[in-house]
Chains A and B, each alone.
Chain A
Amino acid sequence: MSDATLHDAQPTKRSLHQIDARTKRRNAAESRFKMLGIGAIGIGIAFLVILLSTIVVNGVSAFQQSFLEVPVYLDPAKLDKKGNRDPADLKKATTFTYAPLIEKGLLEVVQTAGIETPLSKTKDMKNLISSSAAAQLRDRVLADPSLIGQTVTAKILASSRVDGYLKGRVHRAEIAQDKNITVEQLDLADALIKAGILHKSFNLDFILGSDASDSRAEQAGIGVSMLGSFYMMLVVLVLALPIGVAASIYLEEFAPKNRFTDLIEVNISNLAAVPSIVFGILGLAVFIQFAHLPQSAPLVGGLVLTLMTLPTIIISTRAALKAVPPSIRDAALGIGASKMQATFHHVLPLAMPGILTGTIIGLAQALGETAPLLLIGMVGFIATNAPDGFWDGFVSPNSAMPAQIYEWAKRADPAFYERAWGGIIILLIFLLGMNIIAIILRRKFERRW
């Protein structure tokens, strides 16, 4: 075959350093291909950077909140009409009694500071102040009735519109239609900032506080739903770790090769790929409709997430068990240990770091999961009350961090979006922490045989 071409072959006269057109083309194709790969990685990392910076830029402001420093005269004539400081009677004074006191206090501050404003009535101050402020002041008075009759300096939440104005979310141009704020009130807010009465400060209540209703974005916090997530993770840890380890030990150390074992294997690998929403349907049908467990309870959420995380934990535990060399087992068996003893006394302790790493990663995955929680009623529930006591935390209705973020994202007021991004920051910090622990565990205890 090659004879035919041999006759026509011309000896090359060019030097090898001189690149011909074809080689040039091939080299260009080579570097083009390489650039495609670099480009793909660049795009992937760019997406990551955009995503993370969007979260930080939008979410950091949730950790700051606008407060008004207002001296409020707690008028005994209004708060304690009988004058006996009896807590039962004090409770009769509702937030509607407290709100005007705060408004009056703010108006006095405005007037003594010499701020020029067309707003001269106590009612005009209402939109500057959060509607939660009265309730917070009332709680303070009920806790300490001796405050009545004094003038206390209260750190009062500014309304979400004023807060949004300070954070650049609410603009003068856009508030023409807004019933909750006027241009004069924004002017006043500017003046109050200058006078040092209105200012932003760190908002611990966002991290530790409870969710608030639709109209009070400024008071909403993620604390209670954090507790909900905590209880769910506790359930997942207590159930998924022992069951997962037991199942892996059986499959890795004891299971004979038969159809039953194959069936289990197939089931585990398929469950790992079942969409999480399907686990939500399972939870709804089995735990709520059939077993009549309470809706929205962290216990049910934990059970659903346990079933969902088990395949992940089993897969990583089996890998950890597989990594323990057979010589360990043989040595144990050789000095007379039973198979069970060899496994539990020797193999399992050696595999423990790997098992824990896998468990933490499984937990992190469960912590961020939202879809199944939607179906068992953890959304739409407003998590305003912390559970009373440890056991109550499992069964009393609660939300969870991702469900709370979803809830905020669905609300109409854009003030909640900032909260949702802020919630994501907290959630990601938790996930990051868990993953770092997993990496440290792996680094510290990793053993190569």
Chain B
Amino acid sequence: MAVLWIAVLLAALTLGGFFAGRMRALQTAGGDPRLLHSLPSYSGTLVAMATLLPALILYVLVVVFRADPVLQIVVTVVGALIGLALSLRLIARDFRARNAVEAGIKGLLIAAASLAILTTIGIVLSLVFNTIEFFRLYPITKFFFGTEWTPSFGGGSELGILPLLWGTLYISFIALAVAVPIGLFAAIYLSEYATRSVRGVVKPLLEVLAGIPTIVYGLFALLTVGPFLLSIFGPAGPTAAFADGGWMHAGTAVMTAGLVMGIMLIPFVSSLSDDIINAVPQSLRDGSYGLGATKSETIKQVVLPAALPGIVGAVLLAASRAIGETMIVVLGAGAAARLSMNPFEAMTTVTAKIVSQLTGDADFASPEALVAFSLGMTLFILTLGLNIFALYIVRKYREQYE
């Protein structure tokens, strides 16, 4: 195990470097720390950092270039020793070890903050390269305008995104149709009518819904809501008389996934709208009451219009959540790609197909697997666009009253 050896050796060298640096600093001051510019432990830390950092960078390099284990150990240890020797020479009575250490720590902080940029770059690169690879194998126009989705790993697949986008939007629409009215009215009641104690109980209760993992909602859709809807709208249900054989043929359907997703989004919509309604200045309400309006008239004619841009932003954020949601649709919406208006029919979504194309023993070089990356790219751009737009609206609205 080269890793273990390197870890042990580096730890020993770093620790040794710390004490060597400390001792050297004290030595140059003749044993009197008051004569030093920085505390002796700063000198120690500097040497330790100078030992560890180059070694770690070298280690990453040798791992990336897949050097053999012995070379890995030699290169990292030599790097550490060079760093140790050079930094030890720097230590002197007037050397500003603290400033150097602080500059080093600041560098580390910047590196940690830059990880967010690196992650985004990683996402974009992993999507872009594989998407380009996919479009080399499959025509781009057929992907964006094709109405057929019939992947087969044997070849001759039709990989049109339209049926998947339709399923995604249809399910999201149903989810929003459930979540927006319930969430919005709950937010209005909580911020305008509820007493402090009611609010203190109800708000956390609703937020429990947001803390439940999506796999739970997925299972709820598959095993509870699906069969329940089937018993009403299926061939054996009371509505079967209206349509021959009922509207619904299996528990997994657009309606199943949409309803459950709507439940999941209620707290999301309500807490965002709550914040926005609370941000409307009290003076607007007082003005309206002063003119003789009732509370509900004030809300309908003053508060809501003032909060409207923010609420639109909240709805858009919820929509972006719904579009990107995976587990509920994987379990609740079905697997068949279909362009249909019937909400009780099984349809599938972009996210569900990303999962099905990338799990299993697929060959990653085939268009059937690579299509998942272009689906991911579409999803990424769609949700990112919605988010940026929504945040822009919310921010613009907030500035209005500040």
Let me know if B209 is at the binding interface, CB within 8 A.
Answer: yes
**Alpha-carbon distance A43/B178, docked complex (angstroms):** 11
Stretch at the interface among A33-41, A154-162, A209-217: A33-41
Q: Looking across the interface, which residue of chain B has its beta carbon closest to that of A59?
A: B219
Q: Which of B234-242, B243-251, B384-392 contacts A (4 or more CB under 8 A)?
A: B384-392
Contacting A at CB under 8 A, from B112-138, are 112-117, 119-120, 122-123, 126-127, 129-130
Which of A247, A277, A380, A409 lies in contact with B112, CB distance below 8 A? A247
Chain A hits for B387, CB < 8 A: 270, 273
- B19 interfacial contact with A, CB 8 Å: no
Q: How far is the CA of A278 from the CA of B354 in the complex (A)?
A: 9
Q: Once the chains bind, are B122 and A268 in contact (CB under 8 Å)?
A: no
The docked-state distance in angstroms from the alpha carbon of A286 to that of B64 is 12
Interface status of A311 (Cβ within 8 A of chain B) = yes
Q: Which of A79-87, A184-192, A419-427 contacts B (4 or more CB under 8 A)?
A: A419-427
Q: Given A281-B372, A371-B355, A424-B219, is A41 in contact with B211 using a C-beta cutoff of 8 Å?
A: no
**With A247-B116, A285-B126 as given contacts, are A51 and B212 in contact (CB-CB < 8 Å)?**
yes
Q: Is the pair A55, B112 in contact by a Cβ cutoff of 8 Å?
A: no
Please give the distance in Å from A386's CB to the nearest CB on chain B: 21
Which residues from B are CB-within-8-Å of A36? 185, 189
Kindly state the separation between the CA atoms of A214 and B182 in the bound complex, as whole angstroms: 41
**With A37-B185, A409-B218 as contacts: A44 and B383 at CB distance below 8 Å:** no
Chain A residues in 8 Å Cβ range of B186: 37, 40-41, 44
Secondary structure call for the A interface: helix
Complex: A172 Cα to B330 Cα, angstroms: 33
* Per-residue contact bits, chain B 355-398, to A (CB 8 Å; 1 contact, 0 not): 10011100010000000110010011001100110010000000
13 A-B pairs within 8 Å (CB atoms) are namely: A26-B294, A36-B185, A37-B189, A40-B183, A41-B202, A41-B206, A250-B112, A250-B113, A264-B113, A307-B119, A314-B116, A370-B326, A371-B330
Question: B109 — nearest CB in chain A belongs to which residue?
Answer: A250
Assuming A251-B113, A279-B123, A371-B327, what are 5 further A-B pairs, CB within 8 angstroms? A44-B186, A47-B263, A310-B116, A367-B213, A369-B213
**What is the distance, in angstroms, from A238's C-beta to the closest C-beta of chain B?**
14
Query: Which residue in B106, B109, B216, B379 is a CB contact (below 8 Å) of A55?
Result: B216
Q: Does chain A have a CB within 8 A of B208? A: yes
Closest-by-CB residue of B relative to A267 is B116
Structural contact, B113 and A39, CB atoms closer than 8 A: no
Residues on the B chain within 8 Å of A289, using CB? 364
> How many angstroms between the C-alpha atoms of A43 and B189 in the bound complex?
13
A249 partner residues in chain B, CB cutoff 8 A: 109
**A40 — which chain B residues lie within 8 A by C-beta?**
181-186, 189
Chain A positions within 8 Å of B218 at CB level? 370, 406, 409
Contact of A431 with B358 at beta-carbon distance under 8 Å, contacts A48-B206, A281-B373, A286-B126 already known: no
Give the interface centre of B110, B115, B297 by most chain A CB atoms within 10 Å. Answer: B115
Partner of A374, one of B108, B120, B359: B359
Kindly identify which residue among A278, A311, A380 contacts B360, using a CB–CB cutoff of 8 Å: A380
Q: Which range contains the number of B residues in contact with the other chain?
A: 35 or more
B317, B323, B325, B359: the one contacting A375 at CB < 8 Å is B359
Judge whether B108 and A37 touch: CB under 8 Å.
no
Complex contact A48–B205 (CB within 8 A)? yes
Which listed segment binds A: B26-34, B220-228, B307-315? B220-228
Question: Are A48 and B324 in contact, with the CB atoms below 8 A?
Answer: no
Task: Please state if A435 and B211 are interface contacts (CB–CB under 8 Å).
Answer: yes
Say what secondary structure dominates the interface of chain B: helix
Q: Decide yes or no whether B102 CB sits under 8 A from chain A.
A: yes
- Across the interface, which residues of A come within 8 angstroms of B119, CB to CB? 267, 271, 282, 307, 310
Q: 1/0 per position for A109-134, CB-CB distance to B under 8 A?
A: 00000000000000000000000000
Measured in the bound complex, the distance between the Cα atoms of B373 and A261 in whole Å is 30
Whole-angstrom distance between the Cβ of B280 and the nearest chain A Cβ: 16
State in angstroms the CA–CA spacing of A279 and B224 once bound together. 29
Residue A150 lies at the interface, judged by CB distance under 8 Å to chain B: no
B5 at the interface (CB under 8 A from A): no
Given the known inter-chain contacts A30-B296, A44-B209, A368-B213, please indicate yes or no for A263 contacting B123, CB distance below 8 A: no
The reply to whether the CB of B351 lies closer than 8 angstroms to some CB of chain A is yes
A338 interface residue per 8 A CB criterion: yes
A40-B189, A431-B213 given as contacts; is B294 within 8 A of A30 (CB)? yes
Most-contacted residue by chain A among B127, B202, B294, B299 (CB, 10 A): B294
Q: CB of A136 within 8 A of chain B? A: no
Judged by a CB distance under 8 angstroms, whether A254 is at the interface is yes
Q: Does A351 reach chain B (CB closer than 8 Å)? A: no
Docked pose: A60 CA to B205 CA in angstroms: 23
Is residue A255 contacting chain B, with contact meaning CB distance below 8 A?
yes
A243 at the B interface (CB under 8 A)? yes
Closest Cβ of chain A to B214, distance in Å, is 7
**B126–A409 touching, CB < 8 Å:** no
Contact A277 B324 (CB under 8 A): yes
- List residues of chain B with CB within 8 A of the CB of A377: 359
A278 touching B379 in the complex, CB below 8 Å, given contacts A51-B220, A364-B211, A374-B355: yes
Q: How large is the interface on A (under 10, 10 to 19, 20 to 34, 35 or more residues)?
A: 35 or more
Chain B residue, CB-CB nearest to A33: B296
Pairs of residues from A and B, 10 with the lowest C-beta to C-beta distance, nearest first: A275-B324, A37-B189, A368-B213, A285-B126, A40-B185, A246-B112, A33-B296, A250-B109, A371-B326, A247-B113
Asked if B85 CB lies within 8 Å of chain A CBs, one says no
Q: How far is the CA of A7 from the CA of B387 in the complex (A)?
A: 57
Assess whether A264 is in contact with B214, with CB atoms less than 8 Å apart: no
* A34-B189, A41-B206, A55-B216 known; A417+B324 contact, CB < 8 A: no
A74 at the interface (CB under 8 A from B): no
> Which of B115, B224, B351 is close to A277, meaning CB atoms less than 8 Å apart?
B351
- CB-nearest residue of chain A to B357: A375
**B216 contacts A428, C-beta separation under 8 Å:** yes
| A1, CB-defined interface residue at 8 Å | no
A278 touches B212 (CB 8 A): no
Q: Provide the A270-313 mask, 1 if CB < 8 A to any CB of B, else 0.
A: 11011111110110111001100000000000000001001100
CB of B320 closer than 8 Å to a CB of A: yes
CB distance from A344 to the nearest CB of B (A): 8
Given contacts A273-B317, A277-B379, A340-B102, contact A34 B193 (CB under 8 A): yes
B205 to chain A, nearest CB (A): 6
Interface assignment of B285: CB less than 8 Å from any CB of chain A: no
* B263: chain A residues within 8 A (beta carbon): 47, 51
Query: Does the CB pair B219–A370 fall under 8 Å?
Result: no
Verify if A94 is at the interface (C-beta below 8 Å from B): no
Bound CA span A43–B296, Å? 21
* Complex Cα gap A169–B130 (Å): 47
A286 to B388, CA, bound (A): 26
Interface residue ranges of A359-374 to B (CB < 8 Å): 364, 367-371, 374
A contact residues around B57 at 8 Å (CB): none
Question: Which residues B59-103 have CB closer than 8 A to chain A?
Answer: 98, 102
Interface string of A350-361 (1 = CB under 8 A from B): 000000000000
A55-B220 Cα distance, complex, nearest whole Å = 8
> Which B residues are in CB contact (< 8 Å) with A254?
106, 109
Question: Are A43 and B182 in contact, CB atoms less than 8 angstroms apart?
Answer: yes
Closest chain-A Cβ to B336's Cβ sits at a distance in Å of 16
Q: Is A328 an interface residue (CB 8 A)?
A: no
A45 contacts the other chain (Cβ, under 8 Å)?
A: yes
